[in-house]
Structure formats: C-alpha cells, structure tokens
C-alpha cells in the first residue's frame, strides 16, 4: 500500500540517484527530471482529453436519449482516436486574406498557456512540478492571457463572425475573471497562503466546500464562463456565429483550439477539487488516484450543466456577472472575514 | 557567463524586440501585440529577481487586461486600411528619438550614481505576506486613496458611457 502511494515520488528519486551514479551533476539531473515531468504532463493531458471527449459525447448522448458514438471499439471508445487521426491528416488551409503570422500563432499560444497551468497543480502527495508560493495566483494570472490568444485568432482570421466571437469571448472572460478571483479569496483567507500545497494541507479535517459553499458555487459558475462552455458558450454560439473565433480554422489548427479548451477544463476541474474538495486527500486509495476521481466527478458536473441548460443571452450573461455574481462574492468575502475574526477570538 | 546572465540577456532581448516592434510595425494591431511581448519580458525580469507576485501582477494587469483594452479600443475605432495605421510622423520621429535618448541618459546616470543596498532573500521567504503587511500596514492610507481614485474613475467611466439622466 505504502509502495503504491509513493510510486511516482520513488520513481523520480530513483531516477535522480541513477543519473548521479552515472556521474551527472545534481543540477543537470534535476533539469533532466524537469524535462521528463513536462513530457509526463503532456502525456497526462493527451490521455485525459482522449477519454474526456468520448465521455462528453457519451454523457450528452445519455442526457439527450441517444446512443452517442458506438461504432468503433466497445461503446465507441476509439472514436476520439479516429477523429484525431482524421484531423491530423487533413489539408492545412490558411485563407489568403488572413493576417498570417497572427493566424498561425494564436492556436499555439492558446495551447501553450493551457499546458502551463499544469505545472502548479498538486497531482498527489509531494507530486507537483513546481510548488510556487503564489501558485493559485499563477493559475489565475496565466488564465487571463488566454483572452489575448482568442483575440488574436478572431482578428487574424479577418472574418466578421470570428471578430464578433472573439470580442464576445473577451468581454465575457474579462467580466467573469473578477468573480472567479474573488470567490477564491475566501479559501485564501482561511488558509492564509497562496501556495496550493498549503491549501490542500489546510483541508486535513474539513473540506472547504463545507466552509465556503457559496464560493464553490460562484467559482463553478464563473469557471464555466471562463471555459466558454455551455450554457455560457456565447463566443462560439454555432447557430448565430458559425464557430466564433474558430470559424476560419480547420484541420490541426482547429483541433489545437479544441484540445486547449479541454485542457483548460481538466486543469480547472483539478483546481476546483484541490481548492474545495480536499485535493489529493482521501482514505484507503493512493493520493494520485483520489485527485483523478475528484477531477472526473467535477468534470462530469460541468458536462451535466452544459447539456442541461439552454444558452443564455449575451446581455443577460454580462448583467449576471456584474449584478449578481460580483456582489455575492464580495458579501461572501466580508462574511468570511467576520467568521475568521470571531473564530480566532474564540480560539484565543 | 553564468546561467543568471544568460537568462537576463534572453529576457532583455525579448523585451527590446517587443519594444522595437511597437514603434516599427505599420499595422497598429501588430504594434499592440508586440507590446504584449514586451510586457511578458518585463514579467520575466520580475521572476528572475524572485518577485513572483509582481511578475504575475504584471502578466495579469498589463499583458492580460490593459493590452486587451488597447486592442479593443483600436479595433472599435479603426476604419482605414489596417496596414497604414501606425506610421511615424516625418519630422516628429526625430524629436521623439532625441527625447527618448535624453531620458535614457538621465536614467542611466541615476542608476550609475545610486547605491543598491538591498540583498536577495531566501527563495522560500513569504514575500506576499511581507508585501501585504506593508501595503495594509505602513502605507494603508496611500493604498486606500489609490483604491478610491480607481473607484471614482470607474463610476465616471460608467456615467460617460451610459449618459447621466437629466434632472
């Protein structure tokens, strides 16, 4: 049991020791380990997304009372692999009137930012690529860069729908970033740290979803909007904007945007379970299995919401953020402050 | 040359490349995007100096918010050929260069004359906590005044955008 729990930590320790026995200096061995960790992150992302896209289609099929993909493999599990192969082999089309450099850079930038989010996520006990002392803030601040990538895609495409979609998504993401950050304040106030490993350690006795239920709900709503997922998927609302900022993209470039959105979904779900559901802590099972289970539960919740609620109108969407979510999160912060003050007063 | 110098040179190159792009691109959207590159380079400098919090604020506020605002404003008001929107003035460009050189000289002189007594802290120091104690302790009045100023600006912007009702 203990062996399974520390499997990956032991593996990296053993790897470092092995490199050192070959005469590699410690600094270089650490650098090589870091590279391998980055490759592992890419592997984790790709594996999860392959499962996730299949799962999304199956869940949506179940909710809409249809079978979903069911031809390739048992219950259609290999459908995503086939789709990926198809997208990879498609002709790479760049429309002639585009702003070429921006058009090409946008999907790469979008994907890079999404992958960078993973380096601060605790994926188990002592399993974190970098334990930044401002880890949570790193996550929020890098997330704000994705607006630039979307804007570049929309502008570079030189197309009305693309630009409209990009404008919508930027307006939406900037508005929802405020309640997103504010709803995490309660957790930070209780923990007294922005370090993600500290936040997990602070949930030793009680999960923060019990102490901060309102923050959990507001964060969930704001995160849905940040991820551009339904019911807040205005930026790519198919019926009115064809595909928003992605209209002119095809083949692998389109797939990169698509992949990045799912990469973000996994990252945000993992962050949600780290902040509110106790992170990797749990009985019996090893820690790295717990975080996977919790992340998948949260992702299932995101899917459930997406396929249950109809799309919300753009002006309602903005009004909801500014007139409902932000006041609620502010009240939550004040209440948390009072609660902490009283609690510390009692505790001495 | 050690690792630190190498990182400094790479970051400096990125920052300057972005800055040169801002003035030399003739398409103003390209200029705004290279401004983002320059901001990211400056954020990298903060990280190198172990001021992670400042670096992240730089990314979030400058690269993530202010530049989006700039690009938004440009896109909304632009009605000409985008490739002719950032052309430097035939005479004033020389004046601008002269003034920039003058300022660079003054700043260089100031840096050369000052003594830097600060020392590097340990990498694990709780810098966010230290910053919070300064901002919400010694300098709380200045901090709150800045906050009120921003609030007034936001209210003013909303009134300008919506138009106040006539009494």
Instruction: Please spell the DSSP secondary structure of A33-44, one letter per residue.
Output: HHHHHHHHHHHH
Confidence category of residue A238, pLDDT binned at 50, 70, 90 = low
Q: What is the model's pLDDT at position B5?
A: 86
Q: Output the pLDDT for position A239.
A: 66
Q: How far apart are CA A203 and CA A189, in angstroms?
A: 13
Per-residue pLDDT at A283:
80
Contact between chains at B128 and A133 (C-beta distance less than 8 A): yes
Q: Is A198 on the interface with B (CB under 8 A)?
A: no
**pLDDT band for position B122 (50/70/90)?**
low
Q: What integer is the mean pLDDT of B138-156?
A: 92
Q: How confident is the model at residue B124 (pLDDT cuts 50, 70, 90)?
A: low
Give residue A208's domain range: 91-347
Contact between B71 and A155 using a beta-carbon 8 Å cutoff: yes
What total number of domains does chain A contain?
1
Answer whether residue A64 is part of any domain. no
A175 neighbourhood in chain B, CB within 8 Å: none
Length of chain A, please? 348
Has residue A153 been placed in a domain?
A: yes
Q: What is the pLDDT of residue B149?
A: 95
Query: At residue A235, does pLDDT exceed 80?
Result: no
Average pLDDT over residues A91-104: 81
Is the residue at A248 inside a domain?
yes
- C-alpha dist (Å) from residue A149 to A153, A250, A275, B52: 6, 17, 27, 23
Nearest-CA distance B125 → chain A (Å):
9
Assess whether pLDDT exceeds 70 at residue A236. Answer: no
- Per the domain annotation, does A37 fall within a domain? no
Mean pLDDT of A109-134: 84
- Residue holding tokens 């198809």? A86
Give the pLDDT confidence score for residue A328 in this predicted structure.
92
Task: Say yes or no to pLDDT of A110 above 60.
Answer: yes
Residue closest to A275 by CA, chosen among A256, A295, A261, A293: A295
CA distances to A169, A312, B120 from A165, in Å: 6, 15, 46
Asked if the C-beta of A155 comes within 8 angstroms of chain B's C-beta atoms, the answer is: yes
Indicate whether A132 belongs to any domain: yes
pLDDT single digits (tens) A60-97 = 888 888 888 888 878 878 888 888 888 888 888 788 87
Nearest chain B CA: its distance from A209 CA (Å): 25
Per-residue DSSP letters for A140-176?
Answer: HHHHTTHHHHHHHHHHHTT-HHHHHHHHHHHHHHHHH
Q: Please determine, for residue B90, whether its predicted confidence score (pLDDT) is greater than 80.
A: no
| Peptide bond connecting A231 to the previous residue in cis, omega within 30 degrees of 0 | yes
- Biggest CA–CA distance in chain B, Å, is 70
Q: Which residues of A228-265 are buried (b: 16+ CB within 10 A; e: fewer)?
A: bbbbbbbbbbeeebebbbbbbbbbebbbbbbbbbbbbb
DSSP one-letter code for B83 = G
When the pLDDT of each residue in chain B is averaged and rounded to a whole number, the result is: 84
pLDDT of A348 above 60:
no
Q: What is the pLDDT of residue B164?
A: 66
């Amino acid at each position: 049991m203990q062996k399974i729990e520390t499997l990956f930590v032991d593996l990296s320790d053993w790897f470092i020791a092995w490199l050192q026995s070959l005469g590699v200096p410690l600094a270089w061995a650490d650098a090589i380990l870091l590279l391998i960790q980055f490759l592992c992150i890419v592997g984790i992302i790709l594996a999860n997304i392959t499962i996730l896209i299949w799962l999304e289609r199956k869940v949506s099929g179940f909710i809409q009372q249809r079978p979903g993909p069911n031809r390739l493999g048992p219950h259609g599990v290999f459908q995503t692999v086939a789709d990926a192969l198809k997208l990879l082999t498609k002709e790479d089309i760049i429309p002639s009137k585009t702003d070429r450099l921006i058009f090409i850079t946008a999907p790469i930038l979008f994907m890079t930012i999404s992958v960078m989010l993973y380096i601060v996520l605790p994926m188990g006990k002592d399993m974190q690529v970098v334990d930044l002392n401002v880890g949570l803030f790193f996550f929020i601040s890098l997330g704000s860069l994705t607006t630039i990538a979307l804007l570049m895609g929309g502008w570079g495409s030189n197309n009305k729908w693309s630009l409209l979609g990009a404008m919508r998504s930027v307006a939406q993401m900037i508005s929802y970033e405020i309640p997103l950050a504010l709803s995490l304040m309660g957790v930070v106030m209780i923990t007294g740290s922005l370090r993600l490993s500290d936040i997990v350690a602070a949930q030793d006795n009680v999960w923060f979803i019990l102490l901060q239920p309102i923050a959990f709900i507001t964060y969930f709503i704001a995160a849905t909007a940040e991820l551009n997922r339904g019911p807040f998927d205005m930026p790519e609302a198919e019926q009115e904007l064809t595909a928003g900022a992605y209209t002119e993209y095809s083949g692998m470039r389109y797939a990169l945007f698509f992949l990045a959105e799912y990469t973000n979904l996994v990252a945000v779900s993992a962050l949600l379970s780290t902040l509110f559901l106790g992170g990797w802590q749990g009985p019996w099972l090893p820690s790295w299995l717990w975080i996977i289970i919790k992340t998948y539960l949260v992702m299932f919740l995101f899917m459930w919401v997406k396929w249950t609620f109809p799309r919300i109108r753009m002006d309602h969407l903005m009004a909801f953020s500014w007139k409902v979510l932000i006041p609620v999160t502010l009240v939550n912060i004040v209440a948390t402050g009072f609660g902490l003050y009283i609690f510390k007063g009692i505790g001495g | 040359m050690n690792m630190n110098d190498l990182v400094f040179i790479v970051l400096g190159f990125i920052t300057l490349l972005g800055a040169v792009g801002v003035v030399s691109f003739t398409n103003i959207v390209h200029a705004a995007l290279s401004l983002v590159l320059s901001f990211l380079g400056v954020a990298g400098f903060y990280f190198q100096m172990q001021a992670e919090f400042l670096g992240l604020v730089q990314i979030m506020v400058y690269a993530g918010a202010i530049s989006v605002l700039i690009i938004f404003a440009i896109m909304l008001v632009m009605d000409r050929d985008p490739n002719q929107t950032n052309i430097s003035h035939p005479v004033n460009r020389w004046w601008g260069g002269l003034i920039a050189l003058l300022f660079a000289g003054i700043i260089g002189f100031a840096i050369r004359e000052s003594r830097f007594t600060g020392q590097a802290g340990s990498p694990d120091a709780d810098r966010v906590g230290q910053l919070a104690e300064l901002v919400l302790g010694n300098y709380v009045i200045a901090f709150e005044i800045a906050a009120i100023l921003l609030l007034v600006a936001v209210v003013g912007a909303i009134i300008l955008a919506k138009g106040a009702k006539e009494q």
